[in-house]
Amino acid sequence: MRLEGRATRSIWLEPDGWSVGIFDQRRLPWALERLVLKTPGQAFDAIADMATRGAPLIGAVAAYGLALALREDPSTASLERSFAHLASARPTAVNLRWALERVRAAVAERPADERAALAYAQAARLCDEDVAANRAIGEAGLPLIREIAARKGGEPVNILTHCNAGWLATVDWGTATAPIYLAHDEGLPVHVWVDETRPRNQGALTAFELAGHGVPHSVVVDNAGGLLMQQGRVDMVIVGTDRVTANGDVCNKIGTYLKALAAQAHGIAFHVALPSSSFDPATPDGAAVPIEQRASDEIRFIPGPDDHGAQTRVGITASPAFNPAFDITPAGLVTGYVTEKGLIRGAAGLLTLR
């Protein structure tokens, strides 16, 4: 998407041709800082500390992390060690292991001196595929917005989203945001309710993106969704996902489930956008997904700039806190899965993704 007037992806190779550039998402939306990853350890830290985040982008960073490891040491021992280490950076998004497996499969049977170049090529291919998949997700989701727009005869289509499933969370376009960007580009009136998404406030990233693309939006606190739906001010909900299991259960950022419950209570469509890399047919249902448990300080403190722009944090509570990062929305609450292969209604159709 466009950033500072230029077409920009969320991950790139630096001019040296081998180190990997990403944005430090911990600093957004206050500052646009880039990080340069030169070692697999730096790739691991960027994922674990959430400098980079979002299921597809985590996969892309891990893929390049494995390429960086093979550049240092192309042995099989190094491949397996780095694979295991990078795979442990975060537990929930299935894209992480998927991407690492793609790279490992491309290099494992090849001579050591070819492995780094092959790994870089595979990581680049995976990134290009993600961009194409997200664009296709946009095309598959656009008719949903068109239908509502036609019904509303010129009134804005109000779309609620949770977390950041935008271009910053993928390589480009985003998943949940791709249909929104395409709708906006073709002149449909859209307005996005952006859930703040405590505790990491990924809604601020979504708002940053939407502002950059000129899409009207409002950030709301996570608890506002129920009221907005009750008042008829939400036409559809669309979210991304970290993993959709074989039965169609959806693991996504904590708070997604409550929005799905509210949407069902009010007869509002609840759509999940996903590339096939987020589908995990090997995990039977949501109960089997490892839910990441993050530090309680993420709840107890909020980071941000002070009045002079210096990074600081403020306390919210001195009490113990419990911080599960994801939740499970049962398949029965999902109206449709918006995928690069089209709109899928019903979990059985997900099997076409693998």
Q: Which residue is nearest to ligand MRU (CB)?
A: 240
Q: How far is CA 152 from CA 53, 128, 142, 157, in A?
A: 35, 36, 15, 7
Q: Which stretch binds ligand MRU (CB under 6 A): 48-56, 64-72, 187-195, 330-338?
A: 48-56
Q: Is 56 in the site for ligand MRU (CB under 6 A)?
A: yes
- Spell out the residues 6+ positions from residue 76 whose beta carbon is closer than 8 angstroms to its own: 108, 112
Based on CB atoms, which residue is closest to ligand MRU, 60 or 68?
60
Q: Is 241 in the site for ligand MRU (CB under 6 A)?
A: yes
Q: Is 334 in the site for ligand MRU (CB under 6 A)?
A: no
Instruction: Show the binding pattern over residues 185-204: x = contacts ligand MRU (CB under 6 A), - = does not.
Output: -----------------x--
Based on CB atoms, which residue is closest to ligand MRU, 175 or 335?
175
CA 132, 133, 134, 136 torsion-angle sign: positive
Residue 317 has phi, psi (to 5 degrees) of: -155, 150
CB of 134 to ligand MRU, least distance (A): 8
Between CA 139 and CA 133 the distance in angstroms is 10
Judged by CB under 6 A, how many residues of this single chain contact ligand MRU?
A: 17
- 99 marked ligand binding residue: no
Q: Which two tokens stand for residue 184?
A: 């906006």
- Residue pair 318/284 in contact (Cβ under 8 Å)? The answer is no
- Residue pair 250/263 in contact (Cβ under 8 Å)? The answer is no
CB of 22 to ligand MRU, least distance (A): 13
- 247 marked ligand binding residue: no
Between CA 113 and CA 74 the distance in angstroms is 7
Whether 242 is a known active-site residue: answer: yes
Q: Is 43 in the site for ligand MRU (CB under 6 A)?
A: no
Q: Is 338 in the site for ligand MRU (CB under 6 A)?
A: no
- 341 marked ligand binding residue: no
